[in-house]
Chain A
Amino acid sequence: NAGVTQTPKFQVLKTGQSMTLQCAQDMNHNSMYWYRQDPGMGLRLIYYSASEGTTDKGEVPNGYNVSRLNKREFSLRLESAAPSQTSVYFCASSEWWTGGVSYGYTFGSGTRLTVV
């Protein structure tokens, strides 16, 4: 099925460990995003990639890095995990806004990360 695929679905890390969350989309979208979701906080933007070869910080980028590997793939890396990074992480993609038309986001199923 077409869509956004995230791996892994669940992960437990110890404080200080590193890991990379993977995201791939097969809809040929230009833009990709990483959000985190915490109880009562809604979805907050970590990083985004407007198009292949570009990345920019969102609202809460501290402690994270990203790589837009190609048009399909956008990964999120935690270099030294902290308990405050315990969250559900969602990757999303969308087509560009063009000529007065904007498109909805397609979200992946999420990665549930616990840092102990």
Chain B
Amino acid sequence: QQPVQSPQAVILREGEDAVINCSSSKALYSVHWYRQKHGEAPVFLMILLKGGEQKGHEKISASFNEKKQQSSLYLTASQLSYSGTYFCGTGRLYSGAGSYQLTFGKGTKLSVIP
């Protein structure tokens, strides 16, 4: 089942902060966050794993509340380059090793203006 993202769209001025939420009706193991600029492919931002571990490579933070089955992406002191559509992707519970498939939300369009 597709995770629900909120808000659907947000407009910020440079330097302002934003929070994007992602919630699921199913138990989660991991939550992934991606950003897609217009006409381009989605780009991986970060992963949050059950137990709170965070793996990513950009200066954007996130949280993962396992009990509530929710994740939030925090963008602070936004820059023009943050503009794009943000997607969360949720992964199911697994044991051992193997493949996993992500189910993506419908996205949150973020516009940062000067």
Please tell me the size bucket of the interface on B.
20 to 34
Interface-side segment among A11-19, A20-28, A75-83, A107-115: A107-115
Contact with A along B54-97 (1 / 0, CB 8 A): 01000000000000000000000000000000010101001001
- Candidate in B32, B94, B104 with the most chain A CB atoms within 10 angstroms: B104
In angstroms, Cα B61 to Cα A17, docked, is 46
In angstroms, Cα B34 to Cα A42, docked, is 12
Q: Are A108 and B99 in contact (CB under 8 A)?
A: no
Q: Are A105 and B102 in contact (CB under 8 A)?
A: yes
Q: Are B98 and A96 in contact (CB under 8 A)?
A: yes
Please tell me the size bucket of the interface on A.
20 to 34
If A45-B103, A105-B89 are given as contacts, then 14 extra A-B residue pairs at C-beta distance below 8 Å, sorted by A number, are A33-B101, A42-B105, A43-B42, A43-B87, A90-B41, A94-B100, A97-B91, A97-B98, A102-B30, A102-B47, A104-B34, A104-B46, A105-B44, A107-B42
